[in-house]
Amino acid sequence: QVQLQESGPGLVKPSETLSLTCTVSGGSISSYYWSWIRQPPGKGLEWIGYIYYSGSTNYNPSLKSRVTISVDTSKNQFSLKLSSVTAADTAVYYCARLVVAATGAWFDPWGQGTLVTVSS
Amino acid sequence: DIQMTQSPSSLSASVGDRVTITCRASQSISSYLNWYQQKPGKAPKLLIYAASSLQSGVPSRFSGSGSGTDFTLTISSLQPEDFATYYCQQSYSTPIFTFGPGTKVDIK
């Protein structure tokens, strides 16, 4: 079955850009939507954005000015860039497949998550 | 924006108890409501989609109901592995998605 794995630096300095990659295995990235979701320590889940394998994107309005999600179908990967980070961006970042159907849209499966700390 | 609330924010229950968690949307979202389970240190796992459809592999003691603004997740007989935090998520406002704040279920 499809599995997802996040990778990237665990520590980012304030004002710099957070960069993460999600590698999809066990299936093709094509014909699906792929998403990033984050969870600050001890808090709830926040949807960041998604990308279709063709490259079309949608972002959370609260983060839109700082977020870029891209896809590399040749590597079966998609990536997240979040610019001008502050301590408030410290969180566990998850990648997930976004399943879109007539009855709605849901996230399944998820990667294991990676903690990114913003600190100097 | 559609806001999601959950009640209670936490509850204590015993193995074998029937547990009900409520999720409420700030406006009607039809049946565009999903439920996830998250155990400490783990990623969320999809339990229920489209308000009442059980995800493959999820035990039948989990069930979902509701439409419009009010939804419930029910665990018919709580098992030790069910102690976790549960989140609802709406997809009515696709392409924007929001989660509820979560309900933590712990051992009484």
Distance CA A97, CA B20 (A): 28
Q: How far is A115 from chain B (nearest CA, A)?
A: 11
Q: Quote the CA–CA distance of A93 and A79 in Å, as a whole number.
A: 12
Is B71 within 8 Å of chain A by CB?
A: no
DSSP B12-47: EE-TT--EEEEEEESS--TT-EEEEEE-TTS--EEE
Interface of B with A in 16-55 (CB under 8 A): 31-34, 36, 42-46, 49-50, 53, 55
Instruction: Return per-residue pLDDT of chain A as tens, 120 residues.
Output: 999 999 999 999 999 999 999 999 999 999 899 999 999 999 999 999 999 999 999 999 999 999 999 999 999 999 999 999 999 999 999 999 999 999 999 999 999 999 999 999
C-alpha dihedral, A13 to A18 to A23 to A29, nearest 10°: 180
Is the CB of B43 less than 8 angstroms away from the CB of A110?
yes
CB pairs under 8 A between A and B: 66
* Interface check A111 vs B, CB under 8 A: yes
Which residues in A lie closer than 8 A to residue B42 (C-beta atoms)?
112
> Can you read off the two tokens belonging to residue B97?
């998605």
Picking from B31, B55, B102, the nearest residue to A103 by CB comes out as B31
The answer to whether residue B59 scores a pLDDT higher than 90 is yes
* Digit-coded pLDDT (tens) for B63-81: 999 999 999 999 999 999 9
CB contact under 8 A, A105 and B94: yes
pLDDT band, very low/low/confident/very high, at B48 (cuts 50, 70, 90): very high
| Locus of tokens 């320590």 | A41
- The chain A residue lying nearest B101, using CA atoms, is A44
User: Contacts of residue A46 in chain B, CB cutoff 8 Å?
Assistant: 99
